[in-house]
Chains A and B, each alone.
Chain A
Amino acid sequence: MAEDRARPGELDQTKYDADDSVKIICLGDSAVGKSKLMERFLMDGFRPQQLSTYALTLYKHMATVDGKTVLVDFWDTAGQERFQSMHASYYHKAHACIMVFDVQRKVTYKNLHTWYTELREFRPEIPCIVVANKIDADIKVTQKSFNFARKFSLPLYFVSAADGTNVVKLFNDAIRLAVSYKQNSQDFMDEVLQELENFDLEQKAAGDPAPDREQRGAVEGPAPS
């Protein structure tokens, strides 16, 4: 968990601390349509930045929320999803998550569980939207209930990157959620946790195992109001 902070030069994430900047991550299995959704939202305006060493694509976007300009970085995976796990730095400082499955493939729905579990290990509080993509292929799915979203009280969006249904709404809502999450920030809590981790590390004698995620979870208290 600490290693992503040890490489500031390569992938500087301190900018996400600035008031006008948010980070939104995409999760989901291979070929569910994450990249197509990004492209549909950004249209010609998209300027993807490939970071191949991280198997990562960054899309930069400028949005206006309540009259204020917000710089949005969308993080999209570029192959790493095949391991059904992302590097810690992918989650680091994220303010919202867009989690996609393919309505034509059950495995991608089932795997939401794995994605969600990992997301919550790193970012217990950030808003997360569940996205049922490719509804153009089978519009009847929009008449069905999907318990995953209900079980975790997550909003569910039916979208199509192909015909565009609800894509713009999805991304604009995600940006709003990210901004409002940031304003009522849990980031403060995360910083405190990091301090605690460092403290913990310093306390331990060399050779002791580093604190694992369980321990991190254990020091988590209720969020400050």
Chain B
Amino acid sequence: MTCTAKKCGIRFRPPAIILIYENEMKGKNRQRIMPVRNFSKFSDCNRAAEQLKNNPRHKSYLEQVSLRQLERLFSFLRGYLSGQSLAETMEQIRRETTIDPEEDLNKLDDKELAKRKSIMDELFEKNQKKKDDPNFVYDIEVEFPQDEQLQSCGWDTESADEF
């Protein structure tokens, strides 16, 4: 089956993931409602997303929907179930899915570090040129001359004899 995902969202009551997609008949949008069962405010969003994505009945429809997006949708549901406002949940998701540039990652244990790395992986994978890409080039050289006129990076200026 060829199915082009258009939009994917979540409904809180009763909880369901809803997919808007287009099938072979181009131009006609269809809707698929995938009920969420056994999910509470204590549930693991990543697990729930994986389970849904691998669910034999929904699998083929969700191919184009990333695990991250599903995980995010489950986070909204969890926030709702714990009585958070939408704004609070969004702030929490932002915290969990972005890197705080000030945080010293040397101070984290393996598990927390792995979490940060998986957040970083999102951009890494987006920008990654893979070996099997048709226009992959192994050795890419670009010159960035460091001449005197350049503006400072802004990280050097704290004290006079610091770099």
Contact = CB atoms under 8 A, between A and B. Distances in A.
Task: Answer yes or no: are A and B bound together in one complex.
Answer: yes
Given A145-B146, A147-B163, A163 B110 contact: no
Q: Which 7 A-B pairs have the closest CB atoms?
A: A145-B150, A168-B139, A142-B144, A148-B163, A144-B153, A136-B127, A162-B127
Interface residues of A, number: 45
Contact of A31 (B105, B123, B127, B129): B105
Given A105-B101, A136-B127, A82 B106 contact: yes
Interface of B: 99, 101-108, 110, 113, 116-117, 120, 123-125, 127-129, 131, 137-142, 144, 146, 150-156, 163
Contacts, number: 108
B146 A147 contact: no
Interface string A140-156: 01111111111100001
21 contacts: A29-B105, A106-B102, A107-B105, A109-B155, A110-B155, A111-B106, A112-B163, A137-B127, A143-B150, A144-B151, A144-B152, A144-B154, A146-B155, A162-B123, A162-B125, A162-B128, A166-B140, A166-B141, A167-B140, A168-B138, A169-B141
B127 A163 contact: yes
Interface of A: 29-31, 36, 43-44, 79, 81-84, 104-107, 109-113, 136-137, 141-151, 156, 158, 160-169
B146 A160 contact: no
A30 B140 contact: no
Nearest to A160: B127
